[in-house]
Structure 1
Amino acid sequence: MKKRYLIAVATLLSASLLSGCSNDGDTATENGSNKEITDTITKAVTYNKDDDYMDWKNENPTYIELNGTEAEFDQSAAILLKDGTLTIKTGGVYVLSGKWDDGQIAVDSEDKNTVRLVLNGVEINNTENAAINVINAEKTIISLQEDTVNNISDGKEYRFEDSSSDEPNAAIFSKDDLTINGSGKLVVHANYNNGIVSKDDLKITGGTIQIHSVDDGIMGRDLVAIKAGEIAIEAGGDGIKSTNDKDTSKGNIALEGGTYDIVAGSDGIQAEASLWIADGSFKIVSGGGSPETISNRENSPEPWGDHANPGADPNTRPNENPNQNSNVKTNQETTEETESQSAKGLKATAELAIGGGTFAIDSSDDAVHSNSNVTIAGGELTIASGDDGVHADTSLQIKGGKINVTKSYEGIESEKITISDGEIHVVASDDGINVGGGNDGSGFRTPFSPVNDGQASSETANPENQMDAEENSTQSDSEENMLIINGGYITVDAEGDGLDANGSIAMTDGTVIVNGPTSNGNGPLDYDGSLDMSGGFLIAVGSSGMVQAASDQSTQNSLLMTYSETQKAGTIVHLGDNDGNTITTFSPKKDYQSVFISSPELTKDTSYILYSGGSSTESNSDGLYKTGNYQGGTKVVEFTLSESVTWLDESGITTSRNAGPGGQGGPSGQGGPGEGGQGQPRPDMGGGPGDMFGDLDEETREKVQGIMEQEREGTITREEAQEKLAELGMEFPGKGERR
């Protein structure tokens, strides 16, 4: 979250450089974009006939009847039975039924034919190793016979002949390709480590699968591909994951359908490479879910660690016991150790693309996250997050669908965000939509604070960290950081900045409604470069201390009204022309002292009247009323629109403060009402940047603001400003760091 007295020089961007996107309707956009995702999956995943094929009875099957520690089967079959391990040696169809006590079904095929294990009402338990272990096979298929329940379980400790071995590490384990299909039920209790693992490709095309695992639920090294099925996972680690980090073409997850109910201590679904979702129904709780309340962490370090076990050493799993026999490994010893626990809902290292489906995600970390790019082209997402609702380190594109972020620290975040369609609702305890975060962090920035007040972050207190923070700030506040709105319907309810860009904002079409913040340390609109309005409807209401309007070069007209007193939430704002035509009628959700309106219906050299209060008999959506039937309001100001951006207060038109980079003015580039053309708070204004220094006496406050202004104008350097502030017992604000 940026503070307006932190200077960030951004290069002005021309709207002509931005690629427009037509709005041809939700259905066409969603279907077209989802087809792109489906085509991507089709190219990446190949399903063979036997991945779905279930008519095994005509394939000369071998029947295996399990009875405690004994097994009955045709003695001519290529099957070995020794010390409780039943080993299948050649390809073919093997039908398993009955109960196998403390034993293992192993596949060690000596030919290149597919091995099909038909689970026909079976219970297999192994207290010292995997219950099903595919040692070698061209391909193994586990078919779940219709109307059967099949139970698989392992023990808490594995005994290995080789003490250096870490495989198998799952109740169902395969070193080669594994497919699960059918319509029966599979219940897996993974007491040692993981539930179902393939070291190559893992495909699921049907069945009801329930997994209870100490660590990860379903894991495929090269690929996890699911077309159908009902999957329920309770995992101490990740719910579904891929792990190949050596080959950039592998490590993907492709989900084309199915229902998912995942409760994970770490990530819900995590792809080492890309995660593509074309359809499906998803309910995901990760890291215990989002906290009941999310406080603004602006002035405090982020308490990340082990989400599943707060306060634990993030490098150590709970209950880990190193004092074990070297050949006997406990469930915790085999779990991967990481520097910090990740507890995201959907996560990818490369591309994360959603084309359809329904999602209910409750995560302690980001709900939707990519270390690279995110594309949302369709689907319905309901999100409650302890951190970001949707986050991409590099680029985020929203082309359709419905996104409802009911709870978040920051709602939507990326270095570049392009919204061309869709319905988006965001509630955030900090910034609603943030551009410039990158690397999973928006970069907290703290206000000037007395050196020893205990509130400054460690980055601020340490000069070396401070220099790094300033360098990182310069890098992120670049011309690459853009929020582009080409369509869609967007509402933002923010305690921090509403639309926040460590760069520039351009809007060509769509509807945007911003409520908040109420604190004067933030603004409804916050940008470093420019806010270019060339189309669409934007209304932003909130505090006035850091208020900004559109840039002067905007081709669409707008106005910014600042009130001398705070207006109560629900007090209607009505704007109409002298002929009685309505431009907008809006009921803000929060208290407010500023209102920004940009509409294609605003024309120059036309007189308008702004009203306050009153009522409307029309219905409203998110506080925005349909045109007409407004009555009973009080006229606040009458004016004639003469500039692309008109600044107002109760007395009428005020002088534009658009003097800084990108057309914004005021302290550190803030546009807003003020005196002397510098946007300083008026004596009758409630709030303003001065409120940030409420604990300072008037003389010190004036000196601080003077130093800020000198640094902004370039008459002194950043280092000189720091020295002058240090003499006053103040620190220059730095950019905090988030993981």
Structure 2
Amino acid sequence: MSRHLSLRRRLILAAAPLTVTGLVLAGCAVQSSAASTTSTSSTDDTATETATVVDSDLSAAAVLAANSDVTVVEDDEWSEEDAADISLDGTSASSDSDAVTVDGSTVTITAAGVFRLSGSLDGHVVVAAPDDAQVVLILDDAEISASDSSAITVTSADDVAISLADGSDNSVSDASSYADDAEANAAIYADADLTISGTGTLEVSGNGNDGIASTDDLVILSGTITLDAADDGLRGKDSLTVAGGTIEVTAGGDALKSDQTDDATQGFVAIAGGSVDATSGDDGIAAATDAVVTGGTVTITAGSDASTADDSPKGISAGVVVALDGGKVTVEAVDDAVHSDGSVGIGGGTVTVSSGDDGIHAEQRLEIRDGEATVVESVEGLEATDVAISGGTVDVTSSDDGINAASGTASDTQGGGGMGGGGEQDTGEILTISGGTVRVAAVGDGLDSNGSISITGGTTVVSGPSSAGGQGAVDSNGAIAIDGGEIFVAGSVLVTPTGAQQWVAATVSGSAGDTVKVTDAAGTVVATFEADQSFGAVFYSGPTVTDGAAYAIAVNGVSAATVTEGVNVSGGMGGAGGGGGGGGRRP
């Protein structure tokens, strides 16, 4: 029989901001360190600690383990040799099976078994089997068109499978409209668990509402499915799983959806393989709880002219967690490309997004542990109450803030957009970079936090903003602590950080594409990077910068400034936590 796996406890995400432990207090740096994880005592002898990476449960494996496991009918659970034939013939049909009845253009299957449907029917196929029955429908060059109902309706059964016969071309279409209280309101509608497999093709026209819908689990194992729906494309109320196949969905509403809100272990969408190409008027993937991608290729265009588009269609939307740990995900969305009312975790794969608002947004925590995350276009690139980058490659382009740690309850007085800042008050959010490679090109703040910023590892390159206007390349209301890694900045204002690691900075002008080099007194290149925007200031901190040493800064090979470590030449201001600016040596 179908596989039912054990129920696991759901992740519990705190409503309060999920902060990492320890913030660095203001203090003097004493020596260079390649990957320092503790700072020296501050001037008031208060011991300081650096931020650490939290080992959270935002991996795809942890998220899926916290959910109900899915019911699926595997291909090896039934045999094609056992199939009873059903011949479809215009407005009628015929079969030798006692489990099949024909009443005009309605074909009804009343018992468990395997049934092969071939031919064309201007009518309706109904599965009304016992509640413990497993029913398999083999579509073998079947065309089913219903004028006043669903094409295939499952009113009762335990589990139902639709198998697309090898080499077959199949199609289903339904009524152009449904009554508001109609239960069956999709071209294929199942009041049971539904699995789709096989190697044939299936064209689905959901003229009146949804394309394929199940009130329980909907699983696609294989097959080539092309679906056009007036509202939602694929909807599994308890869950929707895509393990394989080639799926193309055009939907006026949500393209892929799970909307169970009564059970916290259900309402999730999981993609483990195959190819999904979705164009939607509303959200591309809409999950009441979790949206999880561990494999396959997912391409989403959210906010099309398909139908009744939402005011804010999102690419991938989840109520609890978005976990992207594999596969290739590409999203274009009118609103947020990736959005969670809880948290977002990226632990692998390739994620490329373009957005009319935030590239990747989480109300609580956004963490990137591995993989490639690229925000091609956005207002704010990455945004969450807490942002933690510990690995992978992150590339952000934004018209406002690049990476923003901000809560939804604060109001912005720093000139940023998005969730908002808290003026000069540290409201507890934290942006942590402890590993990986990060590139940010921002018109607004490059790295921004309403709380604090901690950099302990990785390589970070920030370009912009190209003009001051209240924006800062690295800006926070609390401490900006650098205790490891490398950070390159070509922006409009300078940063005066705390932390153990040394730095150099100067007011130096340049244009997008210019190469900035920092050399020591012996002429050895300490750092080099290319600016993505025009700039008026340069900042660098890395493990080879020595306390009190002299350094030269050149733009395109032309000497622009000679600076001493820890001194802002020609001044500037960092964020509130930077202790101001103005050309003096830090305390």
TM-score range, shorter chain: 0.7 to 0.9
Q: Give the counterpart letter for 2:51 in structure 1.
A: L
> Hey, what's the Cα distance between the residues in 2 that align with 1:395 and 1:49?
32
Q: Give the counterpart letter for 1:230 in structure 2.
A: T
Q: Give the counterpart letter for 1:214 in structure 2.
A: A
Q: Is the 8 A contact 1:129 1:154 kept in 2?
A: yes
Q: Is the 8 A contact 2:63 2:323 kept in 1?
A: no
Partner of 2:259: 243
Change (3 A) 1:422 1:193: same
1:515 to 449, 456, 463: 463
Partner SS state of residue 472, structure 2: coil
Partner of 2:103: 82
Q: What is the count of residue pairs matched by the alignment?
A: 540
2:583 is the alignment partner of 1:636: no
> Hey, what's the Cα distance between the residues in 1 that align with 2:573 and 2:78?
76
Question: How far apart are residue 384 of structure 1 and its match?
Answer: 1.2
2:173 to 128, 153, 162: 153
Partner of 1:574: 517
Change (3 A) 1:657 1:240: closer
Q: Give the counterpart letter for 1:110 in structure 2.
A: P
Q: Is the 8 A contact 1:387 1:408 kept in 2?
A: yes
Question: How far apart are residue 559 of structure 1 and its match?
Answer: 2.2
1:409 to 375, 379, 396: 379
Q: Is the 8 A contact 1:562 1:673 kept in 2?
A: no
Q: Is the 8 A contact 2:228 2:251 kept in 1?
A: yes
> Hey, what's the Cα distance between the residues in 2 that align with 1:190 and 1:184?
19
Partner of 1:506: 454
Partner of 1:16: 49
5+ residue gaps in structure 2?
1-21, 26-47
Question: How far apart are residue 603 of structure 1 and its match?
Answer: 0.9
Q: Is the 8 A contact 1:119 1:145 kept in 2?
A: yes
Partner of 1:664: 579
Question: How far apart are residue 45 of structure 1 and its match?
Answer: 5.8
Question: How far apart are residue 226 of structure 1 and its match?
Answer: 1.7
1:593 to 536, 539, 547: 536
Question: How far apart are residue 254 of structure 1 and its match?
Answer: 1.6
2:80 is the alignment partner of 1:57: yes
Question: How far apart are residue 80 of structure 1 and its match?
Answer: 2.4
* 1:489-500 equivalences in 2 (<5 Å): 489-500=437-448
Partner of 2:503: 558
Change (3 A) 1:121 1:308: closer
Partner SS state of residue 264, structure 2: coil
2:489 is the alignment partner of 1:540: yes
Deviation per CA, 1:141-172: give whole Å up to 9, x if none.
Answer: 111111101100012123x6xxx622111000
Q: Give the counterpart letter for 2:525 in structure 1.
A: T
> Hey, what's the Cα distance between the residues in 2 that align with 1:410 and 1:657?
22
Partner of 2:314: 344
Q: Is the 8 A contact 2:215 2:236 kept in 1?
A: yes
Deviation per CA, 1:459-514: give whole Å up to 9, x if none.
Answer: xxxxxxxxxx9xx8659965531110011111111111111111110011111111
Change (3 A) 1:193 1:520: same
Q: Is the 8 A contact 2:92 2:102 kept in 1?
A: no
Q: Give the counterpart letter for 2:378 in structure 1.
A: S
Deviation per CA, 1:505-530: give whole Å up to 9, x if none.
Answer: 00111111111111211111111101
Partner SS state of residue 41, structure 1: helix
Question: How far apart are residue 446 of structure 1 and its match?
Answer: 7.9
Task: Report sequence identity in percent.
Answer: 35
Partner SS state of residue 277, structure 2: strand
2:535 is the alignment partner of 1:648: no
Q: Is the 8 A contact 2:130 2:158 kept in 1?
A: no
TM-score w.r.t. structure 1 length?
0.69
> Hey, what's the Cα distance between the residues in 2 that align with 1:116 and 1:166?
25
Q: Is the 8 A contact 2:552 2:559 kept in 1?
A: no
Question: How far apart are residue 139 of structure 1 and its match?
Answer: 1.1
* 1:249-648 equivalences in 2 (<5 Å): 249-288=265-304, 317=308, 341-438=311-408, 445=413, 474=422, 478-521=426-469, 522-544=471-493, 547-551=494-498, 554-563=499-508, 566-614=509-557, 633-634=558-559, 636-637=561-562, 639-641=563-565, 645-648=566-569
Partner of 2:115: 94
> Hey, what's the Cα distance between the residues in 1 that align with 2:100 and 2:78?
23
Partner of 1:132: 152
Question: How far apart are residue 56 of structure 1 and its match?
Answer: 2.4
> Hey, what's the Cα distance between the residues in 2 that align with 1:287 and 1:116?
36
Instruction: Please identify, of 363-372 and 588-597, the stretch whose mean Cα deviation from structure 2 is larger.
Output: 588-597
Partner of 2:64: 41
Stretches of 4+ moved more than 6 A in 1? none
Change (3 A) 1:235 1:111: closer
Change (3 A) 1:246 1:341: farther
Partner of 1:230: 246
Deviation per CA, 1:103-132: give whole Å up to 9, x if none.
Answer: 110111135120111111100001111000
Partner SS state of residue 60, structure 2: helix
Is the radius of gyration larger for structure 1 or structure 2?
A: 1
5+ residue gaps in structure 1?
1-10, 23-31, 289-306, 310-316, 319-339, 449-456, 458-468, 615-632, 666-670, 678-739
> Hey, what's the Cα distance between the residues in 1 that align with 2:181 and 2:54?
54
> Hey, what's the Cα distance between the residues in 2 that align with 1:556 and 1:150?
65
> Hey, what's the Cα distance between the residues in 2 that align with 1:249 and 1:33?
15
Q: Is the 8 A contact 2:50 2:483 kept in 1?
A: no
> Hey, what's the Cα distance between the residues in 2 that align with 1:51 and 1:589?
51
Q: Is the 8 A contact 1:21 1:420 kept in 2?
A: no
Change (3 A) 1:523 1:40: closer
> Hey, what's the Cα distance between the residues in 1 that align with 2:161 and 2:397?
45
Partner SS state of residue 58, structure 1: helix
Change (3 A) 1:590 1:672: farther
> Hey, what's the Cα distance between the residues in 1 that align with 2:338 and 2:560?
45
1:70 to 92, 101, 108: 92
Question: How far apart are residue 173 of structure 1 and its match?
Answer: 0.3
TM-score w.r.t. structure 2 length?
0.86
Partner of 1:297: none
Question: How far apart are residue 570 of structure 1 and its match?
Answer: 4.0
The CA RMSD measured in Å over matched residues stands at 2.9
Change (3 A) 1:404 1:167: same
Q: Is the 8 A contact 1:21 1:486 kept in 2?
A: no
Partner of 2:196: 180
Partner SS state of residue 378, structure 1: strand
* 1:211-230 equivalences in 2 (<5 Å): 211-230=227-246
Partner of 2:139: 119
> Hey, what's the Cα distance between the residues in 2 that align with 1:210 and 1:477?
53
Q: Give the counterpart letter for 1:549 in structure 2.
A: T
> Hey, what's the Cα distance between the residues in 1 that align with 2:75 and 2:129?
22
Partner SS state of residue 384, structure 1: strand
Partner SS state of residue 279, structure 2: strand
Partner SS state of residue 508, structure 1: strand
> Hey, what's the Cα distance between the residues in 2 that align with 1:38 and 1:242?
19
Change (3 A) 1:20 1:191: closer
Change (3 A) 1:435 1:672: farther
Change (3 A) 1:341 1:82: farther
Change (3 A) 1:431 1:531: same
Q: Give the counterpart letter for 1:378 in structure 2.
A: G
Partner of 1:721: none
Q: Give the counterpart letter for 2:553 in structure 1.
A: L
